[in-house]
Structure formats: C-alpha cells, structure tokens
Structure 1
C-alpha cells in the first residue's frame, strides 16, 4: 500500500517524528564547526551493530541532524531523492529507512572537529579506515 506524501506527513504529525535517533554525547566536539560524524544502526533485538556510516559536515551538525531525516522521510513516502536524480538515495538512506521500519536503534555520533587548514577529506578517510563502516562507498 502506497501512501500519498500529504497522508504520510499527517501520520508523522500524529505519531511524532518518523526517524527517531539518539545523539551520542561528546563534549569535545563543537557542533557549530566542521566535523566528522558517524551513524550507527543497532539491531533492536540483539544489540548488534547492523551498519555504520562515517561522514563529514563542513557546516557543523545541522546537515547530519536534519538532512538524513528529510531524505529518509522522502524515501519512505515514495518521493524522489532529487529532481535530477530521483532514485539516487545512498546506502545510508536505505539502511536508515530499513532501521526505522524495523524499529532498530539509530545513533548519531559527532566524532571530532576539523580545524581550519586541516583537510576534512583526509580526516574523513582516516575515520573511515579506523571505524570500519559498512555503509560507505570505499
């Protein structure tokens, strides 16, 4: 059964957010500055890690906090990813959507800040190597 986007939003408004997630506290990270983050998906029954994604955010925590939720809501509602790329949802979006459907635990962690002059791509690659994500394209 496919829901219209308006009906889907009505369900969200009635039941609250569609994508519930926890934010792991890290007092060493300034969320207003460039940072490296990770999404962890944890099986609701076994507690085992089902998936991990490591990413970067030049503008701080706003994009990971808001855009992933937005993309998951759109995907679950049958909407396009982007006008020019309708089916371009990435593996992390699909995995987060599956986690929402399954009721799995979703945790967003802010791993570190990236200082002015540091190469955010190099730092992200380092964290990808050390955190063994399963949802990044490597």
Structure 2
C-alpha cells in the first residue's frame, strides 16, 4: 500500500506538470491486470510480484516520440518541476502517515480509569486516608 501511495504521489505531480505518464504499476514482473485510461492512454497495471512499483514517464530520447509530445517528456521539464515530481512520492508517504496516525489516535482506546482498588488496612496508604474507589488526580486534574 505504501508503494502505491508513493508512486501515486509521483504520478499526480507529473500530471500537474503536464508530463506524460506511460504506466502506473503496482508490483513487478508479469502483468496480471491492466487498463488504459485518460487522454494520454496511461496504462494502469497490477503485476505479479507485489514488492514495489514503478511509474515511467515519457523520455525525449525514446524512439518514436512525436515532436508535439517531446515537450511533455520528463527530461524537457524545468529543474523545479523535476524536483517537484521526484519529491512528490516521499511527500505522499509523509502526508499519508500523518493522516493514518491522526485517525489511529483520534479513534481512542478504551482504557481503565485510575481508581484505587483494595487498600490493606495495615498499609501506609490506609494511614494516609486513601480508600478503595477513590480517583487519582494529577495536579488537580482528573486522569
């Protein structure tokens, strides 16, 4: 899942920069399922070995590239656009981690309240007037 999110970050950034995406693949090896979609006819693939993914873009040196599409090649982009596309993958993972942790920690976990259980009558706690059922406080704030 992290690979899919990472590659999707690169993919979206490339689309925003008008770079032609040839394929968006999750996994390596033999293609199990694929579909072409969009104006660019980008191929979306699910491959046999789910240990990674890749996202090839149009390159200007590739044979058979039409002249009108060469401006959409990754190699022909400005350095800022190239950096944006390259850093978009790790940025997507970072954003996903923030969202995931926010959801996990906002869901909450049922826990036990800090309430005193049994108190031995021979203990220091009993002498300090601490009894069963009392709630614990930290600096006047109920825990």
TM-score, with normalisation over the residues of structure 2? 0.21
| Bigger radius of gyration among the two | 2
TM-score, with normalisation over the residues of structure 1? 0.22
Q: Report which structure shows greater RCO (CA 8 Å, sep ≥6).
A: 1
